[in-house]
Structure 1
Amino acid sequence: MTEPANLPPGESAGPDPDEAGGPKDDRHFVTALARGLAVLACFGRGRTFMANHDIAEACNLPRSTVSRLTYTLTKLGYLHYVEEVGKYRLGTALIALSSTALGGLDVRHIARPALREVANFANASVGLGVRDRLSMRYVDCQRGPAAIALNLDIGSRISLPRSAMGRAYLAVCDARERAAIYDELCALDPVAWPRLRDSIERAIAEYREIGCSTSFGAWQDEVSAIAVGFHPGGGLPAMAVNCGGPTVITDPRTLMEVVRPKLIEAVRDLEGVMGA
């Protein structure tokens, strides 16, 4: 285990971030807890192993702070230090947490047959997602028989403002939450925000007109997708179901003319079953 290292002389740790979005004058916000969760959140696809300096850069935190956090998380089993590479990976204690969290989402089990039916009908990928800060996180995914499919699975994150799933979520969440998301997106990139805001507003207007959101090359150049948001009830936040794939096999016209009615019907039936 590496000992906490101080920043070299003259090296700046950057601004003191509250990565979980808590205001600095909020006395109820526990910054240390937020930082620990931010460390865990920076692991993911392509980031299986990370050293303290990698984590410090990803979280914009001092290396000394990160070293203490990784030491504590390792002691608790949420991180595991791999001696051979001198880096950390996610620990087994997270398995229990994730299993409990996903197991409590009854909507996943209820929705799965409908998701699978739409996936087979559209010969595409169909995902169920929830909001994760400024991303959408897949909690379930079904694939049709297509030879080419999106490289997305349970746990994958995609853009909130640019994906069909994220736009559908923004269309159905309440106005207060949407305003808070707008504030975060603006703070993230004030220069790009006006154009991004206009694209989101157009997507919300489109959703109200045709019953779904679209993303044809907005998230990734060669990916086409549509999505429908819904409220599952039972104290759960809004969710969204998308359907899409590589444009070469899942073209926008087929999605809009053939798949869209099927997807809308499936989500409305799911809403009815959930009692929302």
Structure 2
Amino acid sequence: MSKLVGRPVVVKEDRHFVTALARGLELLACFRSGDKMLGNQELAERSKLPKSTVSRLTYTLTKLGYLQFDDESGKYRLGTATLSLGSAMLSRLDVRQLARPAMQQLADFSHSMVSLGMRDRLSMIYIENCRSQAALTLSLDVGSRIPLVSTAMGRAYLAVAPQGERNDLLARARELDEQGWPVLQESVQRALDEYREFGCCTSIGDWQPGVNAIAIAFRPPDGSTPVSINCGGPAFTLSADFLVQEVRPRLIELVEQLRRAMAT
């Protein structure tokens, strides 16, 4: 997992900001797709918080039902209280229901995976997935996190984000990887130029070697948070030319259909 996925939020000199609450939420965000259980040491490393602080937070979150302690392993798993929050969020995202049929058609056509994602800090989180039944696809599910700056989905989000938000996100990404930033910055700028010219972003082996993807982001007509939609998979089934020549026009049409459906 890239170290650009997620980052503790730091808010300075804000008397309305409740630090203890922020730390508790950051601790919950340490759980990623595929993590069954985490111990206090792992949570401390991921959250960059002192282990003593983590211990108090996990105790409190367990009492409230947001974490569940496993006596045998001495670790924590997410509790049912977090499930209610996530379910409530997903249930109000009409875009998922509207997009699913067209997403499945595109997945079947491209023999790949088509996904919807929303931003969380320096990550994109999958909120819907459609897979082709005819080919090998990526092993990512709803709830999976992918990096913002190195993926097509994340770059598409950056392309439609307000300038101030985009600058802030890129500054935070740079802080996490000063050494690798020049290469990342060049690839992000290329993606932004690509979006302006072609209306989409690509990631050709930038996130993971052998994985190609193309994405478009759009803001729903109600002004809510931008959503990205991508088509991605192994490079041996999704060449760059195929993504641009065949998938891109279909992805653009899919987004236009969504805009029209959500505007009615």
Determine the structure 2 residue equivalent to 1:45: 33
What's the CA shift for 1:271?
Answer: 1.4
Asked whether the 8 Å contact 1:20–1:38 carries over to 2, the reply is yes
**1:118 maps to which of 106, 115, 121:** 106
Return the alpha-carbon distance in structure 1 between the equivalents of residues 162 and 81 of structure 2. Answer: 34
Return the match for 1:83 from 43, 56, 71: 71
Q: Counterparts of 1:231 and 1:272 in 2: how far apart (Å)? A: 12
Q: In 1, Cα distance between the equivalents of 2:16 and 2:134?
A: 49
Give the SS at the match of 1:145. coil
- Identify which of structures 1 and 2 has the higher relative contact order when contacts are C-alpha pairs closer than 8 Å and 6+ apart: 2
CA distance in 1, matches of 2:72, 2:178: 42
Contact 1:22 1:29 in 2 (8 A): no
Structure 2 stretches lacking a partner, 5+ long: 1-6
Aligned residue for 1:251?
239
Is 1:147 aligned with 2:135? yes
Tell me what 2:230 maps to: 242
Instruction: Measure how far apart 1:64 and its partner are.
Output: 1.0
Give TM-score, length-normalised by structure 2: 0.94
Q: How far apart are 1:46 and its partner, in Å? A: 4.0
Q: Partners in 2 of 1:48 and 1:234 — Cα distance? A: 36
How far 1:198 moved relative to its partner?
A: 2.1
Deviations 1:55-77 (A, max 9, x none): 11111111111111000000010
Question: What are the Cα deviations for residues 67-126 of structure 1, in whole angstroms up to 9, with x where unaligned?
Answer: 110000000100000111111100011111111010011111111111111111111100
Partner of 2:195: 207
Unaligned regions of 5+ residues in structure 1, if any? 1-18
Indicate whether 1:172 and 2:153 are aligned: no
Deviations 1:174-230 (Å, cap 9, x if unpaired)? 111111112211222233323322221110001111111000100010101000111
Secondary structure of 1:243's match? strand
For 1:43, give the aligned amino acid. Answer: F
The equivalent residue for 1:106 is 94
CA distance in 1, matches of 2:241, 2:180: 29
Secondary structure of residue in 2 paired with 1:200: helix
Is the contact made by 1:39 and 1:59 (CA closer than 8 Å) also made in structure 2? yes
TM-score by length of 1: 0.90
Aligned partners of 1:81, 1:212: CA distance in 2, in Å?
44
**SS of the residue aligned with 1:137?**
strand
Query: Per-residue displacement from partner, 1:211-256 (whole Å, max 9, x unpaired)?
Result: 1100010001010100011111324211110001111122222111
Secondary structure at the residue paired with 1:150? coil
Amino acid across the alignment from 1:40: L
The separation in 1 between residues aligned to 2:225 and 2:248, in whole angstroms, is 23
Indicate conservation of the 8 Å contact 2:149/2:155, yes or no: yes
Residue of structure 2 equivalent to 1:11: none
Q: Measure, in 2, the Cα distance between the counterparts of 1:182 and 1:253.
A: 28
AA at the equivalent of 1:101: M
Give 1:217's aligned amino acid: G
Q: Which has the larger radius of gyration?
A: 1
Moved over 6 A (4+): none
After TM superposition, the structure 1 stretch with the greater mean CA deviation from structure 2, 142-151 or 24-33, is: 24-33
Q: Which residue of the partner structure matches residue 133 of structure 1?
A: 121
CA contact (8 A) 2:131 2:137 kept: yes
Deviation at 1:149, TM superposition (A): 0.7
8 Å Cα contact 1:232-1:239 kept in structure 2: yes
Give 2:186's match in structure 1, choosing from 175, 181, 198.
Answer: 198
Q: CA RMSD in A?
A: 1.4
More moved, 53-62 vs 217-226: 53-62
